[in-house]
Structure 1
Amino acid sequence: MRRLSVRARITIGSVLVGAVVLSLVALVLHAEVRQATLETDRSLAVGDAAPFVADLRDNPGEAPDRPADGVLVGIRSSTGEWIVDTLPDDLRRSLSDGVPRSTTTLRLGDGHRSATLVGTPVASADGRFVVWAAQDGRAGHETVERVDRSLVVGTLLALVASGLAAWLLSTVALRPVARMRRTAEALSGGDATGHLPVGPSEDELADLARTLNAFIDRQRENAVRERRMVSDASHELRTPLAALTARLELAHRSSGDAAALERELAAAESDAARLTALADTMLELSRLDETQATPSTTAAELVTELMGSVDRARALGGTSGVDFTVDVPDGAERYGITPAAFGRVVDNLVANAIAAGAPDVEVGITLVRQEDRALQLVVRDDGPGVPEDFLPRAFDRFTRADDARRAVLGGSGLGLALVRGLAERAGGEATLANAPGGGAVAVVRLPAR
């Protein structure tokens, strides 16, 4: 079963809300008109009784005058005798015996008659009396009925108008949505350059269109980045795979020469290790895009991991020395990076400094805590530095400053990309620049949580 459209739901909701509101208004108006007619009838009845009340009080020894034609008045004594009586029999029989203590108003009505009676007690020298005056309520009843019919018709017309207005307004308001849907269908059909239309009015739909356009741009960028990464990865894997295949062929040919076979197998192991490192780095980069719980690491744990990275760099050799300086006071600060990830950052920066530098390059590592409690890692070398045209894309994946690297070390161009990804995941940033006196300087800043 197909669900109702947004336009239909808006129209039905508007009609229902209008029905409730208009019904309440109609009930209030009905009550107000009915009360107004009752008050009018009561005022007329009081006016009819006023001359007789004054006559009884002012002329106690005289008989009251006879009411004019059409005036319904009855005067009854405390003994039950009717001195004046022009009331209809049915109204007279409905009155209670005796004299009320105060002015009394009665509303009598059935299918044939509607009347308002006002009883006014009067005390004079001749005794106690009650003056009853009646006012026919049929005119007021007819007025209320006419008002009720008008309210019913007006309510129905207002509901119809409200439904039509809601339908038309929702149709106009949803036109941008229909245009966005058609454009989205066209985009899904292969048009990768367009955007969803943004209406001229600065409303919620325009904001939605802008948000979706930004989302589409990000998805396109991700798609382009993924295609480029797959292409670059294929290119990067082709060379070591070809070298590994050649090594294995040479090893097969050197099966009778143990020394040559061992040499080729060692070279093949080196190529396989390079492929493994490349695959591991690509896996780490892909995991950076996944949503994971933010780690919480103390500065002391990061300092310990830094010491391990320095030991690994010194064990690898290829430099004249790796010096380090640590200025991180004890504190309760915690940082959004795991010790292993921080070790990868240091290892990659040191390896990059070694690969980009001259033989026997000196590498200096500094880890300090700044005034805002953020940790700043600085890795510098005294090599030739990095080409200026390479700096803007140094942290892109599969990019290398080939002229500044030693071929024996090679590189996949993913080290700095991993450094930036890990730093940004921790809420920080990574930069690379050339020092004024020569050499490259890499800076990673990690804010405290």
Structure 2
Amino acid sequence: MRSVTATQALAMLLALAMMGSAIAQETLPGRTVESLLDYAKSSNPEYASMRLEAEAASERVYPAGALPDPVLRTELQNVTNFGAESGTSFNLLPSRVGSTKYTVMQSLPFWGKRDLKREAAEAEAQAAQGKAGLTWTEQAARIKTAYAQYFAVARLIRLNQEVIDLIDRMERISQARYAGGLAPQQDAIRAQVERTSMRNELIQMETEHHHARARLNALLARPAQSSLADPEQLRPVPIPAKLDYTTLEDRLRGRNPQLFTDDAKIRAAEKNRDLTYRNRYPDFTVGVSPIQTRSRVNEWELMFELNIPLQQESRRSQEREAEKMLDAAKARKDATANQLLADLSENLSGIDAARRMEQLAQTSLLPQAELTFKAALAGYETGKVDFATLLDAQRQIRKAKQDVIKAQAEQQGRLADIERLIGEEL
């Protein structure tokens, strides 16, 4: 059997380490925003709490329309056995007193009240479901925006490192020209100063990258220092035809969880108002009473009871309160809709502006800046352009690329807000 050399063993270990790193990257969330959303949907405690509250609210529907528990009343009459045979005295045993009356009573609300209570509880359960949906859309929007920032910072760090490599090349050219007496030493020093400035900016970006990772981990309910996979790509931005305001307005009115919640609250207020008006009519109690004398039952009684709604002024106040609560719920929905539509218009304008800025930077600013740099570099090597012009051309390239990255992140943030408003993915 051929022996394995130390070099081969080292190569095998490196290959295994790289394979393990690749597998770890695959299992960690963060490669795409979808992986983060899937993770958050199953682990975010705020969304879980709202979902559980919605489930709890749905369990209130049946009890709201159920009859109240019946009541059993036992009455011992003539417990002193007055007038009975001699030798009998005070006693609490049903067979040893004058008579015992057992009454079973059941309260019966006026017709329609149970249905109104159940329907109000159903509306409140739907409102709780809407709040859970609202919580998730808000959490999803935060995750999408945080991921866009995380992606942008990672790309800016890469760009910064590329610029540092470019400045190193420029420094080597300046040193070669200085050694040949074709350029002053100041050019090499300026290149070193520029590189130091870029490294300082790189430190700030790395700090921002750490903060972006901590924000994402917080949204995922993970420890702040937990690792995330390197971001690979952003979601595609829909074409302008899919970002029509009128179409999105209809989707917002039909799918927005906040409006869904307000609608459910309006229905609950309507049912509570109808129930308040129904309280003008009495509720009933019926009962049956077997009467035991000594050891046998020899009498039966029936009982019917109703409350008399005499406190009309109190009920009128309750009715006015219910009407005002309904009006308030409707006004709240109108205010919410107006604000949501204003936010939609603002975000559509913002995403359009960011798209045009990205197109302008990619199709005009960046090509022009690259041509300017190439011309400045060639001119500097031949002594026709000074080093300050070369540095300025390099900065224009960097700014154009930064503008592209920032515009992409801005579009992703606006897209996340639009999806939050319409309550679904575009």
Greater strand proportion: 1
Q: Same fold (TM over 0.5)?
A: no
Task: Give the TM interval when normalised to the shorter protein.
Answer: under 0.3
Greater helix proportion: 2
**Larger RCO (alpha carbons 8 Å, 6+ apart):** 2
TM-score normalized with structure 1 length: 0.22
TM-score normalized with structure 2 length: 0.23
